[in-house]
Structure 1
Amino acid sequence: MGVLTPGGWSPDSRHFVCDAGLDNGLVVVDTAGGTVRPLAESGAHPAWSPDGRTVAFFDEDRLWVVPAAGGAPRRIGKRKIDEEIVPSWSPDSQRLAYVGPVGSNLDHFGLYTIRADGSGGRRLLDRVAEESPRWSPDGSRIAFMKVLQPHFVSAVYTVRSNGTGVHRVSISRAGESSGDPSWSADGRFLFYVRGRFRDADGADIFVARAETRGGRALTHPFPAGGSSSAPEWLAGHSLSGGEPIPHTIRLPLTRKLTFTEPLDGVVTDGRRAIPHVHAEKSHRLLIWDSATGRTVRTLRPCETSLGELVLAARRLAWTCSEHGNTFSGIWLETLRLGARRPTVVASSVADLHPEGGNAIGNLVGHGSTIAFTNYQLGENKRQDAWLLLPRHASKCPASGLYGSRAVCRALPGAAGGITTSVDAGRVLTAAPDGLVRLLSTRGRVLRTWRLGEAVVNARVRGRSVALQHGASLDIYDTATGAKTQTRPLAANEGRPPFLLDVQGDLVAYATGGAIHLLRLSDGRDVALRLPGAAPWLDARLERAGLFVTWNKMYDRRPGRMTFVPLGQIHLS
């Protein structure tokens, strides 16, 4: 079965019409009996008229109508209509609203209406967005979208059905876009989707009175995260309740940086941190000293896409990548702080068709230690753990395309495990079969845990190893190897929980839209209340304190990074 559009339901909700997929045309489905009958041999994006008699749809770049009970389809009007546009009926079933090109200019769109018999076509507005309009239930207004120059921000507008009284409903404080307008049953309210910041992946549902602007948010990213889209009013339904809100605390945000771009995460080493900026092209890296407040900028790490990034004492390391139709290349670069240019030390090329070659990933670093994993792809799959050393050693993994340097050391003691964490000259690895090993930088096996189940993530700090299985966290003592405790993680907040870090008595982990701190001694678990926070969110625990990154909604500088000393964090 194909896609069901918002207008695909019959007025009595007993049937719906949709495209059958695989070029099989439009079909009508009986919701009670499940029977299916053909309606049109071809077409897409159908919309059922309010009186239940007619279905409008797109086919062959034109607008068509067909009797809902069956019959011959009839093209109405000569104007082209975009293939993704769903036409919208007036409540009296007499007219249709749609968006189509203005003249022969396929980059210039207008809002049009036309009678169901094909007469009375007229253009109401120019320069609208290439999105589906929505007629209000009382027939007085039509909701549509415009793309605003110069930043190409989309916004929700309404216009009277005669083309007068253009009114902007959505607002944009920081260049965020809005769309997907939908009317309430009485036509008093308009629902729409508003992005959380410029070019954000996530969005929330807003509701506003049709004659006002802005409105209020009905959905929020805290604590479940996720994104909302395509709101529809369900007449006659009353829904109550909502997602549970975890216990929360507010942090003193006295040490904070803001960024013009959103942030994906943070890497730390002691009191220093580097935010991972979300951008199409990599930026110059910024190293922040949380104790002094000073920042230092380094060179731009990659000419192509920046992947993973670590900071370890006086060294930086990162992966860069480029992709073709048949291959994917990843190379590892390192830079000593103060040096003028980075050095490519390892590289990989993966063949996509058929799968083969190798790939570099799981880059981890802290203190003076940097480690990574080399994945062998194809029939003989395996993964090998490696150390990246500051001086000459063995030759690093290489590809013929990018080359390598002799500054690596293999860690065969990992026994097929991938690198997950490093601390105090030790490397923690985890294998798919649940074999977890703590290794010295010389490759000696310090501890082995045979858990018999896959590990979601593993972190080592001091005497603690934290191992996540599903929504459960086990803590092991590196000195004795014994399990000291097991704690649950919040598992009802959107995305599954994910372990971020451990330090002393504290664990940091992320859910869909929240950062949690878990106190191991008594199991106290709280979520951080961060001002206007939206994903992505990240956190790292160091002996000095907690680093957190998030993105503030509706702000021209959405990226946020803060540091809070451990002594100022009170979970009670």
Structure 2
Amino acid sequence: MQKVESFLEVMDLKTRARRVVFHTKDHIEAPNWSPDGATLVYNSGGLLYRVPAEGGTPERINTGALAKLNNDHGISPDGKWIVVSDKSEPDTFSRLFILPFEGGAPRQVIPQAPSWWHGWSPDGKRLAYVGARGNRTLNLYSCPVEGGSELRLTLGDWMDDGPDYSPDGRFIYFNSTRSGNMKLWRMGVDGASPEQITFEEDRRDWFAHPSPDGKWIVYLSFGTDILVTDHPPNKKVQLRLLKPEGGAPEVIAELFGGQGTINVPSWSPDSTHFAFVSYQLV
């Protein structure tokens, strides 16, 4: 991977102004905003860190024996827990774990692997995630936070990824190649009635994140100079804004970024800002 510097930024939805919260010569990814609005959580080098949302010195979050975290992690609606995807043990396949927000011993959620987390239901009771089972086709699943049986939400030879719940708990937004291109879709939380919501053939769209007030979706958009199933780092990308029911998207930023720019939910709790990561080649 090319060497980059990382900029943890927040954007004001109303003014479109960008503010750098933290700059580092390390590679960082995937900021989450805590429900109290005070903290941003991001990952770097297989570990988790927190930094004040207004800026300051990051501190490492204790994740116990987990030290090979993917960039798929998120904070529970009540702010008490963090879910992570980690590939430390026993076979380097990613699995889901939950640990206290302040840090501590992790608990494995389900044994099935590989699994990559992406969404927490607004009532705090279920997790939505990506899984490869059997023939390794990527499909979407959900399970109770306490663990137990997983529910398969999608089934096909295409690739589904990036599930995130709507704030009213009615829908799961996701990205899929089922149309022949990587576009945004939504479906019921049980997988029913999938419908496509982005359509531009000259873009590949990833990681739809609904705002807490339910008015907007922010997402990451690549050009077509990549494979339809790919979402690489270190590319020129766009951040786009869309109404939940679809329509014409608005380009709100063009930057040097990639899969770790905004692959997890990152809205501020009042829906006025969202966080993302941009990069600069060294």
| TM-score past 0.5 threshold | yes
Counterpart CA distance in 2 for 1:70 and 1:18 is 14
State how many pairs are aligned: 223
Equivalent residue letter for 2:139: G
Preserved contact between residue 219 and residue 228 of structure 1 (Cα < 8 Å) = no
Match of 2:225 in 1: 199
Residue among 202, 206, 216 paired with 1:189: 216
What secondary structure does 1:41 align onto? Answer: coil
Quick check: 2:31–2:40 contact (8 Å CA) kept in 1? no
Quick check: 1:51–1:93 contact (8 Å CA) kept in 2? yes
> Structure 1's 78 and 165: CA in aligned 2 closer, same or farther, altered over 3 A?
same
For residues 124 and 29 of structure 1, do their structure 2 counterparts lie closer, same or farther at Cα, with a shift above 3 Å needed? same
Q: Which has the higher contact order (CA 8 A, sep 6+)?
A: 2
How many angstroms apart in 2 are the aligned matches of 1:16 and 1:194? 23
Q: Greater CA radius of gyration, 1 or 2?
A: 1
**How far did residue 14 of structure 1 move?**
2.9
TM-score (normalised: structure 1): 0.35
Q: Measure the CA separation in 2 of the matches of 1:78 and 1:157.
A: 28
Could you tell me which runs of 5 or more consecutive residues in structure 1 were left unpaired when the two chains were aligned: 240-572
1:45-56 to structure 2, matched below 5 A, reads: 45=71, 46-56=73-83
How far, CA to CA, are the matches of 2:85 and 2:215 in structure 1?
A: 29
What is the deviation of 1:50?
A: 1.3
1:15 to 2:43 alignment? no
- Deviating beyond 6 angstroms after TM superposition, the runs of 4 or more aligned structure 1 residues are none
User: In structure 2, what is the Cα distance between the partners aligned to 1:95 and 1:54?
Assistant: 13
Q: Which amino acid aligns with 1:208?
A: L
Q: Separation in 2 of the partners of 1:211 and 1:226?
A: 26
Whether contact under 8 Å (2:128, 2:142) holds in the other structure is: yes
Q: What is the CA RMSD across the aligned residues, in angstroms?
A: 3.2
Choose which of 3, 17, 30 in structure 2 pairs with 1:5. Answer: 30
CA distance in 2, matches of 1:226, 1:36: 27
Give the CA deviation at 1:125: 0.8
Does the aligned pair in 1 maintain the 2:212–2:271 contact within 8 Å?
A: no
Matched, 1:68 2:94: no
Q: 2:168 aligns with which of 125, 134, 138?
A: 138
Unaligned runs of 5+ in 2: 1-25, 88-93, 227-234, 275-282
Matched residue, 1:119 = 148
2:193 corresponds to which of 146, 149, 165: 165
1:187, CA displacement in angstroms? 1.7
Report percent identity of matched pairs: 24
Q: Deviations over 1:474-525 (max 9, x none)?
A: xxxxxxxxxxxxxxxxxxxxxxxxxxxxxxxxxxxxxxxxxxxxxxxxxxxx
SS in 1 for 2:62: strand
Q: 1:132 to 1:216 in 2, by over 3 A?
A: closer
The CA distance in 2 between the partners of 1:63 and 1:120, in whole Å, is 13
Q: Deviations over 1:216-253 (max 9, x none)?
A: 32348xxxx756875654435489xxxxxxxxxxxxxx
Q: 1:41 to 1:28 in 2, by over 3 A?
A: farther
The letter for the 2-side match of 1:199 is D
Task: Tell me the distance in 2 between the aligned counterparts of 1:187 and 1:89.
Answer: 15
- Conserved 8 A contact 1:134-1:182: yes
CA shift, 1:137, in A, is 1.6
Post-superposition offset of 1:36: 4.2
Q: Deviations over 1:243-288 (max 9, x none)?
A: xxxxxxxxxxxxxxxxxxxxxxxxxxxxxxxxxxxxxxxxxxxxxx
